Amino acid sequence: MKYLSIFALLAFSSFVHANNSLPNNRHISIVGTAQLKAEPDIAVIKLEVESLKTKSIDAKRDVDDRVNNFLEGLAKFNIDEDNVSASSITTRPIYSYSNNDKQELDGYMANRNIKVTLNDIKRLNAFMDFALSVKIDEIRSIELKSSKADSLKDEVNAMAVKNAKEKGNSLASAFDAKLGKIYSINSTSNNSRYRYGANSDIERIEVTGSRISKASRPGKYLQENIVFSASISVVFDLEVK
């Protein structure tokens, strides 16, 4: 039993050693990070059109007519078919209950969702006014993006690598050592998030049109900044001077 316990302990130690990503010699583990802020220049707008009619076919025709009017006006915003998605439609019965809890058919609801990519963000306000003027029921969401996203991700990755090297060299020098060759790159992450600007120079988007009510002053929306971030975990060999 004693020999079995010793064997199990040795096997466990070998397993831990085999799964350890750190070298046996002197080393230093560093996490390099970087952030890069960019102004969006593209807007992805999601819209919705719906209609409630006594007959399902009438609801569908009403929705289709309004969507067609919307699509016909996109040319003035230089939006082509590749930047529009409006292919699906759904219809469903709408019921309500009377005072005696009896189910009654109110009509049929037809619904279409539209997704549009606007490559000129400066025309976003005019685009929303146009959409509401042709009886689009709802502007569901607006996502701001950068047309340079791929190159910005590459740039922020390079910045994170540089940051890791600078941290490694600084720490090694502080302990009278020298950064050696790279041993491993354990993990990387790259993401983007939106953040509202905190300075007075940030561009503002104004929405002036609304079919629901008339406001005395146009609504103002603070444009988001896109923050690209990256982190990289690396292990360097460490050489003693």
Choose one of 145, 178, 210: the last residue of a domain: 145
Choose one of 112, 145, 178: the last residue of a domain: 145
Same-domain status, 180 and 107: no
Does residue 1 form part of some domain? no
pLDDT higher than threshold 60 for residue 236: yes
User: What pLDDT, on the 0 to 100 scale, is given for residue 3?
Assistant: 46
Segment 79-110, tens digit of pLDDT:
998 999 998 899 999 999 887 888 889 999 99
| Residue-number span of the structural domain to which 28 is assigned | 23-39+149-240
Choose one of 145, 179, 199: the last residue of a domain: 145
How far, CA to CA in Å, does 130 sit from each of 125, 191, 232? 9, 33, 45
Does residue 62 form part of some domain? yes
Give the range among 68-72, 112-116, 234-238 with minimum mean pLDDT.
234-238
Tokens 């439609």: give the residue. Answer: 89
Dist. CA 46–CA 43, nearest whole Å: 10
| Beta pairing class for 224-240 and 27-38 | antiparallel
Does residue 2 form part of some domain? no
Question: First CA to last CA across the chain, in angstroms?
Answer: 49
Dist. CA 226–CA 116, nearest whole Å: 20
Same-domain status, 116 and 235: no
What does pTM read for this prediction?
0.67
Segment 159-205, tens digit of pLDDT:
999 999 999 999 999 999 999 998 888 767 777 776 544 333 333 33
Dist. CA 110–CA 51, nearest whole Å: 5
